[in-house]
Each structure stands twice: as C-alpha cells, then as structure tokens.
Amino acid sequence: MNPVVRTVLQRLGLGLITLFIVTIIIFSAIAMLPGDFAKAMLGQSATPETVAAFQREIGIDRPPVERYFAWVGQIVQGDFGSSFASRTGYRRTVAEIIAPRLYNTMFLAVMTALIAVPLALGLGILAALYRNSWFDRVVNTVTLTTISFPEFFVAYMLAYLIISRDTFIGTEFAQSLPEWLAASINWVLNLVPKFPTLANISDQTPFWEHVWRAALPSITLTLVIVAHMMRMTRTAIINMLASPYIDMARLKGMSPMTIVLRHALPNAWAPIVTVIAFNLAYLIVGVVVVEVVFVYPGIGQLMVDAVKSRDVPVVQACALIFAATYILLNLTADIISIATNPRLLHPR
C-alpha cells in the first residue's frame, strides 16, 4: 500500500477512536453537572411523585450506561434527540434548535477566516522577506500585543472605541490631555466605522446586513488569531530560505518574492497548515466568549444558555459538534502535512 494512503487511513482510524473517547468524556462531564432539570422546571413546590414521573418522561431516571449507549445510538443515526425544554410545550428537536445557531457561528468563522488567513500569510511572508527590519519589528510587536490580551478584553475595548467615537472630546480624560493630542485621538476615532456593538441577527437578516452586524466580532477574532499564523509563516519561510536549493534559486537570478512563493512556501506548508487548522478550529470551538460579549446568536451562546437551564441534550450536542470540528480540522491538517511530505511522496 502507498505510504501516503496507509498513513492517512491510520490518522482516520485514530480520529474515530478519539471521537469515541470524547463522547464518553462529554457524557460523563455533563452527567456530573449539579442540578436537576426536572426539579428546575417543576419548581420547589413539585411533589416527589411529580418529579419522578417527569424524570421518567425525559429518560433521566435510567442508569447512566444505558443512557450513554442510547445517546450514541441516536447520534449514529443522525438524531440528537429532543430538547428537554421543549417537553413542556411544543416539542422541538435538538437539530432544529442548533441548525440556525450553527449557521451563524459558521458564518462568523468563515468571515473571519477570509480576513485572517490571507492577512496572516501576507504579513508572515513580508516579515520573512524583510526580517529584522522596522516592518518586521512593528508587525511582531503589534501581533504579540493583540495576542497577549484575552478575547473578552479585546472585545470590550473595541466596543468601547465604537461607543466613545462621538463623545471622546467631551470626556474628562480627553480634557486632561494636551489639545493637539486629544484632537489627534479624536481624528483617529472618527476614522473607525461605527459598527454595531450588539450583533442582533435573525433568520430574516439580509446577507450584507449580517456581514455588517458581525463585523466587530469578526475583527475581535481576527486580532486574536492572526498572530499565531503570521509568526509560524514567518518562522517556516525563514527556515526554508536557509536551504541549499534556495541558494541555487538565488544564483539563477530569481527575485526574492518569486523564491518565497514558488520554492519556500510550498515546502513550508506542513507547519503553517497545522497552525491554520488549530486557529480555524478555535473559530468554531473558542467563540463562546466573543458571542456572549456581542450577544451574537451562535452555537457558543446557545451552549451557555443550555447549561444554565440544564438542557442536557442541547449541551451534549453542542459539545460534540465542538469536539468533532476540532478533530476534523486537525485531521485535515495532518492529511495535508502528510500529502505534502516529500519523504512519503517519493519513498526510496
């Protein structure tokens, strides 16, 4: 069997095993959450008999092992079950609840990736070409600064800049500054578009309106993830530029940009793609804080709400989607790294 095919199949098998282990962890962790959905829904005045009857109805009175295998069996068939909260009224499936939220999160992730990935690759390539120059130092300083702050801080600071855009001059802080400095800061603030600080999105929101309202969350995520990809691109290309075949390309008279794009970058894909995959997985898995700050109706905020209400099927489905996305993207990065490995493509 071809070494590439064999290695890819091994990675696929490892991914399936990992996903199976993750389902056990998810189920066990959620089962240990404090509180009881039946008691929370029925209230303190409910009798033990009423609580027991409701627990039987939603199936949480069964042994954990039985509930786990029933849950996994439903997932294999593409059924995430029904929301506990919907049992008290209109019966809604978990898939019905998650679908629009997952679309919103995917929309935000794709929008951010279309901005962050080309930006990171471009900055990384330029920083490698002009390493140790003022451009390299400025880019590294700015990206390290943005990555040093937690997401919620970046989100709140961006929201504050938008809010204070029209009122900066009248603040006590602005009045304490020299007039020229306050005017300069106010001029810069007025250049910032007045993006919505609350991402009020619905199913009827037009596409470009959705883009406009998701701009601030997308900018926040871009500032958070671009540093990793940029620095890895820079490092990988600098390492490749020290290779003998790069010296041969220079002797042939090729321009530095041609050398990077045609010779260095294709051979540096393995570490770059791995970092890109990690950051794309973060755009799906790690957006909970950003969605909560901007009240963006994505799957992260849905999971937080479901944990508060003890809606176990929704929490399990959200956690499984997060885990499956993370595993799938890392598996894709592994496969691309394997497929671009000359030692496997041309074995002796």
Q: H helices of the chain, where?
A: 3-31, 37-42, 48-58, 64-76, 94-129, 134-148, 151-163, 172-176, 179-191, 207-213, 215-241, 244-251, 256-259, 265-267, 269-285, 288-293, 299-309, 312-339, 342-345
Residue 62 tokens read as 């069964």
Q: What is the pLDDT at residue 307?
A: 80
How far apart are the C-alpha atoms of 25 and 320, rounded to whole Å?
Answer: 10
Spatial contact of 86 and 96, defined as CB atoms under 8 Å apart: no
Beta bridge partners of 93: 82
pLDDT in tens, 9-47: 888 888 889 888 988 988 888 777 666 666 666 666 667
Contacts of 52 (CB under 8 A, 6+ apart): 61
Closest CA to 31 of 74, 68, 76, 84: 68
Q: What is the pLDDT at residue 279?
A: 85
Residue 108 tokens read as 């935000």
The sign of the torsion formed by the CA atoms of 200, 202, 204, 207 equals: positive
pLDDT in tens, 219-238: 888 888 888 888 888 888 88
pTM of the model: 0.81
CATH of region 3-34+80-345, choose from 1.10.3720.10, 1.10.10.10, 1.25.40.320, 3.40.50.620: 1.10.3720.10
Share of the chain above pLDDT 90, in %: 3
Where are the domains positioned within the chain? 3-34+80-345
How far apart are the C-alpha atoms of 205 and 220, rounded to whole Å?
Answer: 21
